[in-house]
Amino acid sequence: MILVTCEAGFIGSRIVQGHNQRGHTDILAVDDLTDGDKFVNLARSTIADYLDRDDFRLRLQANRLPRIDAVLHQGACSDTTERDGRYMLDNNYRVTLELFEFCQQQRIPFLYASSAAVYGAGPNYREDPSCEQPLNVYGYSKLLFDQVLRRHLRQLQAPVVGLRYFNVYGLGEQHKGRMASVALHNMQQYLREGHVRLFGGWDGYGNGEQKRDFISVDDVVDVNLHFLDRGGPSGVYNCGTGRAQPFNDIALAVVNTLRQEQQQEAASLEALVNEGAIRYIPFPDDLKGRYQSYTQADTTALRAAGYSAPFRDVATGVAEYVRAWCAAGNLA
Name which of 163, 148, 42 is nearest 100 in CA terms.
148
Residue 145 placed within a domain: yes
Domain that holds residue 133: 2-166+217-242+297-311
Does residue 188 share a domain with residue 110? no
Are 77 and 140 in a shared domain? yes
Mean pLDDT of the chain: 94
Beta bridge partner(s), residue 202: 205
What CA–CA distance (Å, rounded) separates 182 from 79? 14
This prediction's pTM: 0.94
In a shared domain, residues 19 and 147: yes
328 domain residue, yes or no: no
Same domain, 118 and 204: no
Residues 13 and 158 in one domain: yes
My answer on whether 120 and 184 are in the same domain is: no
Return the pLDDT at 332. 59
Give catalytic residues, as residue numbers. 138, 176
Per-residue pLDDT of 57-90, as tens digits, reads 999 999 899 999 999 999 877 676 677 788 889 8
331 inside domain: no
The answer on 230 and 81 residing in a single domain is yes
Can you give the pLDDT at residue 38? 85
In a domain, residue 332? The reply is: no
What gap in Å lies between CA 215 and CA 318, rounded to an integer? 9
Is 172 a domain residue? no
Same domain, 184 and 284: yes
**Residues whose CB is less than 8 angstroms from the CB of residue 258 and which lie 6 or more positions away in sequence, other chains included:** 187, 190, 191, 322, 326, 331
Q: How far apart are CA 33 and CA 25, in angstroms?
A: 21
Q: Is residue 43 part of a domain?
A: yes
Q: Residue 167 pairs with which residues in a beta bridge?
A: 214
Q: Is 149 domain-assigned? A: yes
Are 201 and 64 contained in the same domain? no
The bridge status of strand 211-212 relative to strand 214-216 is unpaired
User: What are the tens digits of pLDDT across the range 137-176?
Assistant: 999 999 999 999 999 999 999 999 999 999 999 999 988 8
281: CATH: 3.90.25
Distance from C-alpha of 282 to C-alpha of 262, rounded to nearest angstrom = 30
Q: What CATH number corresponds to the domain at position 16?
A: 3.40.50.720
Same domain for 157 and 44: yes
Cis peptide before 233 (omega within 30 of 0): yes
Which tens digits make up the pLDDT trace of 163-218? 999 999 999 998 888 889 999 999 999 999 999 999 999 999 999 999 999 999 99
Q: In angstroms, rounded to a whole number, what is the distance separating the alpha carbons of residues 140 and 315?
A: 32
Give yes or no: residues 186 and 92 share one domain.
no
Identify the CA nearest to 256 among candidates 187, 165, 330, 331: 187
* Closest to 163 measured CA to CA, from 238, 232, 225: 238
Query: 36 and 72 share a domain?
Result: yes
CA distance 124 to 130: 9
Q: Bridge partners of 52? A: 31
- Residue 28 belongs to a domain: yes
Number of domains within the chain: 2
